[in-house]
Amino acid sequence: MRVLEISSFVAAPLGGLTLAQLGADVIRIDPVGGAADIGRWPLAPSGTSLYWTGLNKGKRSVTLDFRSAEGRQVVADLVAASGPDGGIVLTNAVGQDWLGYAQLARHRPDLIHLQIRGRHDGGAAVDYTVNAATGFPLITGPEGHAGPVNHVLPAWDVACGLYAAVGLLAAERHRRRTGEGRALALALEDVALAVAGHLGFLAEVQVTGADRPRIGNHLYGGFARDFATANGERVMLVALTGRHFSDLARVTGLAEIFAELERLLGADFSTEGDRYAYRELIASLLTPWFGQRTVADLAASFAGTSVLWARYRSFTDLATDPQLAANALMQEIDQPGVGCLLAPGSPIRQPGVGAVAPAPVLGGDTAEVLTGLLGMSREAVAALGDRGIAGESR
């Protein structure tokens, strides 16, 4: 499968990355000098964007002058010439007719074209505005906090990029069966609405007429919360099922107290509803137990039980944990502009998947792609480069 990606920021590049790490030939085509995300933070000391290189691993990079008719024609030629497994375009460009389905399908009738938009009506939106409009920031964060709490993980961008990969694979399956291409539209706002709907958030307000309260680090409708430990760390504890909770009660020596409280209150802590209703009571009994134990004590106490827990870690804790390097997901790559570092492949593990490939140098594959796919001579590519139509490696 060959995908031509004209993209920037997270969603579209993550869609292409997801396919590239499963073996697709993904060619990211940028304007000469790079798109708006070329310098996005975080940066390496060299100034190379760790964000751009992270999201473009294993792709090839072509740069072209998007403002010139000649540069645009090369994009159309690449769409036409990308082979029987090609003719697949992934883009988040909006309002640029030359990159739209209608124009490009003239060169490739079985074109598969997925356009990521902010809003379905074509309006602009980004992860941070979509998140504000979707309800989560007002129920995230400490219980007494006034005002919204934004997420740091751009979760809608991530979901949108993965939906894009799904959409392209499904459309390619349809094309193999019918010969027909497809114009797909995927709006970031729709992704957020769909996920909020699928998880019951939209149904809840429609059915109950009431907003869910802000409950800090508690889990809605169950028992899960963070606790401080003896050594000043914090752990997250999750008792999703009755078995989790009974194991927790046994390990903490609170089984008898919980049973007596259930009797006195007419409650049943084996049901998630009652564990949720009495969450503060349950937590208040657990707090001293956790406060008297170190993380190592907890590991010993919970070993062999069903209790789910984890220590809160910083990214530094995570990156320096020997378990990270031992995880086959992570491989050392030599990233141009950055150096050697551990980088993840696809979390979809399957036999026979090769090494994690670094991101290309911006424009570094222009000559190879134009000669390989379009049959241009090296001289013709160089002439395009001299006139600023095609980018040089840098």
What are the catalytic residues?
157
User: How many whole angstroms separate alpha carbon 198 and alpha carbon 176?
Assistant: 30
Q: How far is the CB of 171 from a copy of itself (least distance, A)?
A: 7
Size, binding site for a copy of itself by CB under 8 A = 143
**Segment contacting a copy of itself by CB under 8 A, of 98-106, 159-167, 259-267, 385-393:** 159-167
Q: How far is the CB of 179 from a copy of itself (least distance, A)?
A: 15
Ordered DSSP codes for 251-299: HTT-HHHHHHHHHHHT--TTSHHHHHHTHHHHHHHHHHHHHT--HHHHH
User: How many whole angstroms separate alpha carbon 113 and alpha carbon 90?
Assistant: 6
User: How many whole angstroms separate alpha carbon 22 and alpha carbon 14?
Assistant: 12
Q: Which of 67, 83, 102, 173 binds a copy of itself (CB under 8 A)?
A: 173
Site for a copy of itself in 335-364 (CB under 8 A): 335, 338-339, 341-351
Q: How far is the CB of 29 from a copy of itself (least distance, A)?
A: 19
Q: Which of 184, 249, 370, 381 binds a copy of itself (CB under 8 A)?
A: 184
Taking the CA atoms of residue 243, residue 247, residue 249 and residue 250 in that order, the dihedral angle to the nearest 10 degrees is 140
User: How many whole angstroms separate alpha carbon 367 and alpha carbon 394?
Assistant: 13
Tokens of 276: 């949720």
Q: How far is the CB of 231 from a copy of itself (least distance, A)?
A: 15
Q: Name the residue type at position 285.
A: L
- Each residue 84-123 as x (binds a copy of itself by CB under 8 A) or -, in order, gives ------------------------------x-----x---
CB atoms within 10 A of CB 148: 14
Q: How far is the CB of 256 from a copy of itself (least distance, A)?
A: 26
Site for a copy of itself in 212-251 (CB under 8 A): 212, 216-217, 219-222, 224, 226, 228, 234-236, 238, 240-241
Tokens of 277: 């209703």
**Segment contacting a copy of itself by CB under 8 A, of 97-105, 196-204, 251-259, 375-383:** 196-204
Tell the residue number behind the tokens 């909006």, with chain if given. Answer: 94
**C-beta closer to a copy of itself: residue 126 or 382:** 126
Tally the C-alpha atoms within 13 A of residue 186's C-alpha that lie toward its C-beta: 26
Q: Which of 94, 132, 267, 357 binds a copy of itself (CB under 8 A)?
A: 132
User: How many whole angstroms separate alpha carbon 34 and alpha carbon 363?
Assistant: 8
Site for a copy of itself in 36-55 (CB under 8 A): 36, 39-42, 44-45, 49-51, 53-55
Q: How far is the CB of 98 from a copy of itself (least distance, A)?
A: 20
Classify 87 in phi/psi space as left (phi over 0), alpha (psi -120 to 50) or beta: left
- The full length of the chain comes to 394
Helix, strand, or coil here: 90?
strand
Q: Which of 100, 137, 336, 388 binds a copy of itself (CB under 8 A)?
A: 137
Q: Which of 26, 64, 165, 369 binds a copy of itself (CB under 8 A)?
A: 165
**141 belongs to the binding site for a copy of itself (CB under 8 A):** yes
CB atoms within 10 A of CB 22: 17
User: How many whole angstroms separate alpha carbon 268 and alpha carbon 2?
Assistant: 56
**66 belongs to the binding site for a copy of itself (CB under 8 A):** no
Q: How far is the CB of 70 from a copy of itself (least distance, A)?
A: 25
Q: Which of 77, 110, 204, 297 binds a copy of itself (CB under 8 A)?
A: 204
Cβ burial 224-260 (10 Å sphere, 16+ → b, else e): bbbbebeeeeebebbbbeeebbbbbbebbebeeebee
Helix (H) or strand (E) holding 250: helix 242-251
- Each residue 250-289 as x (binds a copy of itself by CB under 8 A) or -, in order, gives ----------------------xx--x-------------
Tell the residue number behind the tokens 């797909």, with chain if given. Answer: 184
**210 belongs to the binding site for a copy of itself (CB under 8 A):** yes
**C-beta closer to a copy of itself: residue 264 or 328:** 328
Q: Which of 83, 96, 128, 257 binds a copy of itself (CB under 8 A)?
A: 128
